[in-house]
A and B are shown apart, each in its own frame.
Chain A
């Protein structure tokens, strides 16, 4: 068990659909992150939440909308995505907002058709 759980593991959605990715961490960490991993590109940081407050948003299109209802849960709401948004979306958590080791979830493999 990784301590960070993501659901679903795989998702296929049409460009007009609305879906949500879920992440839950059981490590008592204060910070949670969404990363996007496309083939042959670095991990791209999308959003950072520290103590349930959004502290970073790296110019992510508005079709991606994060939600952090508490320190253990993180959502990524998706709507009207594009085919180029197909990627592996990784959730991670850490004890604090950047210095310490990040623990990753298994990721959601998203395909937009």
Chain B
């Protein structure tokens, strides 16, 4: 079976750092996506990790550990506009992405 777990909700303060975790148990695995989705809008691509380690892209970084079935998205210098849902999705091969339920992040002043 395919299972993706991530926290339902998180709250963090403007200017702070927040880490959103994602664990996965899948039959087959090529890599892990992170998407950002603002309320009422389409998901937009943030990152795709294939190899273990941390990949940094501006204020956002994504980490993957294949052996542990674990990933996280790190957001630095939080801004109010970062309030959104963050979706973790596994690329399991010849079928479309398997999505988690998403983590709703609220950034407060």
Query: Is B one of A's binding partners?
Result: yes
- A residues whose Cβ falls under 8 Å from a Cβ of B: 2, 4, 33, 40-43, 45, 48, 56, 90, 94, 97-99, 101-107, 109
Binds A, one of B39-47, B59-67, B68-76: B39-47
Say how far B44's CB is from chain A's closest CB, in angstroms.
Answer: 7
Q: Which of B35, B96, B99 contacts A48 (CB 8 A)?
A: B96
Say how far A21's CB is from chain B's closest CB, in angstroms.
Answer: 14
Which chain B positions have C-beta within 8 A of A33? 96
Interface string of B52-91 (1 = CB under 8 A from A): 0000000000000000000000000000000000010101
Say how far A26's CB is from chain B's closest CB, in angstroms.
Answer: 14
Say how far B48's CB is from chain A's closest CB, in angstroms.
Answer: 6
Secondary structure at chain A's binding surface: helix, strand, loop or mixed? loop
With contact pairs A42-B101, A43-B99, A109-B40 given, residues A101 and B93 touching in the complex (Cβ less than 8 Å): no
Which chain A positions have C-beta within 8 A of B94? 97-99
With contact pairs A42-B102, A45-B96 given, residues A99 and B48 touching in the complex (Cβ less than 8 Å): no
10 A-B pairs, CB-CB below 8 angstroms? A4-B42, A97-B96, A98-B96, A99-B91, A101-B33, A104-B42, A105-B42, A106-B42, A107-B42, A109-B40
**Contact in complex: A102, B97 (CB < 8 Å):** yes
- B residues whose Cβ falls under 8 Å from a Cβ of A: 4, 8, 30, 33, 35, 40-45, 48, 87, 89, 91, 93-97, 99-102
**Contact in complex: A98, B100 (CB < 8 Å):** no
**Contact in complex: A99, B93 (CB < 8 Å):** yes
With contact pairs A42-B101, A42-B102, A109-B40 given, residues A101 and B96 touching in the complex (Cβ less than 8 Å): no
Which chain A positions have C-beta within 8 A of B41? 106-107
Say how far A13's CB is from chain B's closest CB, in angstroms.
Answer: 19
